């Protein structure tokens, strides 16, 4: 019986879920270092358009990417729900601005399907799958593919 419980646990995927506009997204919790409230973001001249600027987080300068801009959505003012999800991608610490963070979910891997060719207008290369929950769909982002090599180099130079 203990083996079947271990097997079930291995098949669960733990995700941090957040929203951007009307869509709900999830990222692997193991990639998330922390979730913080928005703070003063310093603009950086000649940074890529989707880079909102940088923050000083406990002595580390971290580039901040607005996921709304990255996905080609209209920007919106930060409010009390806006959060920065601090993530390590390709050995680089980056903060992603999201409209709100919802919860930590554990969903069975069997409920995750590969992304359809076109998902809500987002470029499907960023999407690792779609989680089918009881009453909604959850778009799973592949953060390693969210930035091209060229864009990562631009962030390193900030």
Indicate which CATH number applies to the domain containing 79. 2.40.50.180
Instruction: With beta carbons less than 8 A apart as the criterion, state whether 25 and 140 touch.
Output: yes
Number of Cα atoms under 13 Å in the Cβ half of residue 36: 17
Per residue in 75-85, pLDDT tens?
Answer: 889 999 999 99
Would you say residue 65 lies in a domain? Answer: yes
Report residues of the chain scoring pLDDT below 50.
1-9, 120, 122
Residue 6 domain flag:
no
Cα(92)–Cα(158) distance, integer angstroms: 12
Backbone angles phi, psi at 44, to 5 degrees: -120, 120
DSSP-assigned letter for residue 158: -
- Amino acid 47: pLDDT: 85
- The reported pTM is 0.84
Give the ranges where the chain is alpha helix by DSSP (H). Answer: 2-10, 67-70, 149-156
């Amino acid at each position: 019986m203990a083996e079947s419980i271990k097997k079930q646990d291995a098949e669960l995927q733990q995700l941090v879920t957040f929203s951007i506009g009307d869509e709900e997204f999830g990222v692997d919790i193991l990639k998330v270092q922390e979730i913080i409230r928005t703070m003063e973001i310093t603009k950086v001249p000649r940074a890529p358009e989707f880079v909102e600027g940088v923050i000083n987080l406990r002595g580390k300068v971290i580039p901040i990417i607005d996921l709304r801009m990255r996905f080609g959505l209209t920007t919106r003012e930060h409010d009390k729900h806006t959060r920065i999800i601090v993530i390590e991608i390709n050995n680089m610490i980056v903060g992603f601005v999201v409209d709100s963070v919802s919860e930590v979910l554990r969903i069975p891997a069997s409920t995750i399907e590969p992304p359809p060719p076109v998902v809500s207008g987002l470029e499907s290369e960023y999407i690792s799958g779609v989680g089918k929950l009881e009453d909604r769909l959850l778009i799973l982002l592949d953060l390693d593919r969210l930035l091209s090599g060229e864009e990562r180099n631009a962030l390193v130079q900030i």
